Structure 1
Amino acid sequence: MQTKFLRPSRLGVLAIAALLLAGCVTRSISNSGYPGSNNPLYHGELSDFDVLGAPATGPITDTQIAETLASAKQLAPHRNERILVIQSGAMTPDSEMLSALGADFSLGSLSGVPGQPHNDYARQLRLIAAQGGYGQLLCYWGTLESSKTDEVTKAVSWVPIAGWLVPDQTQKMRIVLRAVLVDVATGHWRMYRPLPIDDEQLSAMIGRRSSDQDQVARLKDAGYSALAHDIVASAE
């Protein structure tokens, strides 16, 4: 007797994918409050093109690409140099990031809230930095990815009052960061991508929100320190 294998329907595949993704949450470091309590000042992220410049219009030749590559240099920050810092999506960079960089560089900050999109946005950022006397511009992006696992004590949480105090859920979270350093005069740039950092925390129903925000704060501290370390290590 031949066994017949049924091909899953498109709806079935989507249902399976939804189950796999259930409980997974991704949020920006600029909108990192407890899920469901969004930051009213958050209006999305800057795109790479907002910071690095829009793609060139018109024909691009292999010769042009080769000449650009030949003239490119490995951009590096200089200790005590003035750097204008932008956190994508935030009115101001997080203080922990500024503290992590502040010992080695003279810092200014600029809003990373997206404005009206246009082709010269990146050049405008460079002009603003130049007007303030900043030789380099640093923009960074970050996400917090989390998933939750119910523990065997979850059933106790159904018990009124007492169950709220029993730790019954583990949240795994990681922070993923990247940054771009831009030379204000030339537009040349360099990217930094520290390794993601993971954290795990057990919480009870009554303290879920504060537990989540403690975890966010720990990961930001660790992530910003790692990113700052990479930037400082590349300094001349």
Structure 2
Amino acid sequence: MQKIAKLVNFIIISFLSFFLINCSSSQMVKNPAYSAAKVAKVQLTDKDIFDEELDKEITDYDIQEAAYLAKKGFHVPLKSSIILVQSGESVPDATMQLEMSKYYQVSVYNGFPKTKTLSNRRKSKDSDHVIYNNYMKQLRLIAAKGGQRTIVVYWGELENGVLDEKTNIVNWRLYSGGKLPSNTKSLRYLLKFTLVDVVTGNWSTYSPINVEVDYIPPKFRNNVTDIAQIDQLIHKSYANAALLLAERYKGKSVK
């Protein structure tokens, strides 16, 4: 009986660990409203996404191999397994998970940059040089163990377009929270994706055509808040981006 109890405890602990690292898109994640008092968040950068071993010798063979793999194209077959990451968030927005799950088997991971601590450093066998495994390299290992094929990271920025009455031109500005200016004409949500192949480390970037909507000022709307308009725009942008991304990178469906 003692052995059975230990086995049951081991299974429970293993399941909880897997759930925390590799959450399924089926979990119910509340889609956070775009807060009027939006707090600045630390975003993933190129150093987190791409290899940063700049002191490693680069050979002609490395360049030729990378060019050969790139020439084959970057494909993410429909229904294949991916890890979805939203930069600066513990989990991607629920709406984006839902839209991406129409085309892929989606698992999620946090979008927080790693800090250089002793726990994620190791010494080279041939020297005292310290090697740092960046965010993406560690995530690729996690994905490989979980059987995921591709890692999809995305960034989103909300902009409000202010009409210049003299020139009749809309000037776009990054919206960082607070009340929208009374002369706001339009809203748009810009999305950028980086896709990374788990096995090869090859990558591709994509910025889909953004969605723009007319802003409805308070005097012309009926109980429609700024937050509601922003949320509707973001949801529409996610649906549009997921469709365009799937069309761009699709290959043969995985059965």
For the aligned pair, the TM-score class normalised by the smaller chain equals: 0.5 to 0.7
Q: What residue number does 1:56 align with? A: 54
1:80 and 1:129, CA in 2 relative to 1: closer, same or farther beyond 3 A? same
- Higher mean alpha-carbon deviation, 188-197 vs 140-149, is at 140-149
Instruction: Give the residue type in structure 1 aligned to 2:152.
Output: L
Query: Higher helix proportion, which one?
Result: 1
Q: Give matches, 1:72-87, under 5 Å.
A: 72=70, 73-87=72-86
Q: What residue number does 1:235 align with? A: 250
Query: Are the counterparts in 2 of residues 171 and 200 from structure 1 also a CA contact under 8 Å?
Result: yes
2-side partners of 1:187 and 1:31: how far apart?
Answer: 34
Instruction: Give the residue type in structure 2 aligned to 1:235.
Output: K
Spell out, residue by residue over 1:115-162, the C-alpha distance to the aligned partner (whole angstroms, 9 max, x if none): 3155522210111212222121110111111144599xxxxxxxxxxx
Identity within the alignment, %: 29
Question: Does structure 1 residue 96 correspond to structure 2 residue 102?
Answer: no
Query: Are the counterparts in 2 of residues 169 and 202 from structure 1 also a CA contact under 8 Å?
Result: no
* Greater C-alpha Rg: 1
Q: What residue number does 2:215 align with? A: 201
Spell out, residue by residue over 1:56-95, the C-alpha distance to the aligned partner (whole angstroms, 9 max, x if none): 3245456643442133231111222111100011111011
SS in 2 for 1:50: helix
With structure 2 as the length reference, what TM-score do the two structures score?
A: 0.63
2-side partners of 1:216 and 1:178: how far apart?
Answer: 18
2-side partners of 1:231 and 1:148: how far apart?
Answer: 29
Q: What residue number does 1:106 align with? A: 105
Pairwise CA distance, 1:172: 2.0
1:132 aligned to which of 146, 150, 153: 146
Pairwise CA distance, 1:170: 3.6
SS in 2 for 1:69: helix
1-side partners of 2:98 and 2:67: how far apart?
Answer: 35
Query: Are the counterparts in 1 of residues 33 and 227 from structure 2 also a CA contact under 8 Å?
Result: no
1:123 aligned to which of 131, 137, 161: 137
Query: Are the counterparts in 2 of residues 192 and 230 from structure 1 also a CA contact under 8 Å?
Result: no
Q: What residue number does 2:20 align with? A: none
1:182 and 1:215, CA in 2 relative to 1: closer, same or farther beyond 3 A? same
2-side partners of 1:92 and 1:145: how far apart?
Answer: 22
2-side partners of 1:95 and 1:67: how far apart?
Answer: 38
1:114 and 1:71, CA in 2 relative to 1: closer, same or farther beyond 3 A? closer
2-side partners of 1:31 and 1:52: how far apart?
Answer: 31
Question: Does structure 1 residue 38 correspond to structure 2 residue 53?
Answer: no
1-side partners of 2:33 and 2:201: how far apart?
Answer: 29
Please provide the CA RMSD for this pair: 2.9
2-side partners of 1:150 and 1:194: how far apart?
Answer: 27
